[in-house]
Copies of this chain bind each other. A is one copy, B any other.
Amino acid sequence: MEEFKKKLRIGVIGGARPDNTSYDLALKIGRLIAEKGAVLVCGGLSGIMEASAKGAKQAGGTTVGILPSSSRHDANPHIDIAIATGLGYARNSLVALNADVLIAVDGQYGTLTEIAYGIIYGKKVVGLGTWEIDGIIAAGSPEEAVNLALRS
């Protein structure tokens, strides 16, 4: 664990019910994050959160899940370090705070709060097939998304 705190934390944010294409993109992103030696931070639940954590674990990485509920046992099975908040959607602020850089994939309005919090907190936000708004750096592939994130 000594090295954990020196690692870059990359947050992956996105919807709980993505289509298969977005799920696969997030899986790939998670794998690349782990291969590059970064830590994956996410919301700990299903969909994009699960896919990215699954990918990171497939590549031997470490995963953090910041949960809206009061029990760390609500995390998906690919989360190593589950953090319970009991805050409901207000926990979205904590997802953004605990990443050094964010990658948004797909996503609805919860993702939009996390994108906006990320920008408020001065984090770089990379987007892949997600909201197109000022302040997001668009990527065309998982590789490009992770490379852009690593340049933070």
Contacts and interface: CB of A to CB of B under 8 A. Distances in A.
Question: How many copies are assembled?
Answer: 4
B116 A80 contact: no
Contacts of A81: 1, 4-5, 64, 81
A109 B135 contact: yes
A98 B94 CA distance: 15
22 contacts: A1-B62, A1-B63, A2-B80, A70-B88, A70-B97, A70-B121, A71-B97, A83-B94, A83-B98, A85-B94, A86-B88, A86-B89, A86-B90, A88-B93, A90-B94, A93-B93, A109-B117, A109-B120, A112-B115, A112-B133, A113-B116, A131-B133
Interface of A: 1-2, 4-5, 62-64, 66, 70-72, 79-90, 92-94, 97-98, 109-110, 112-113, 115-117, 119-121, 131, 133, 135
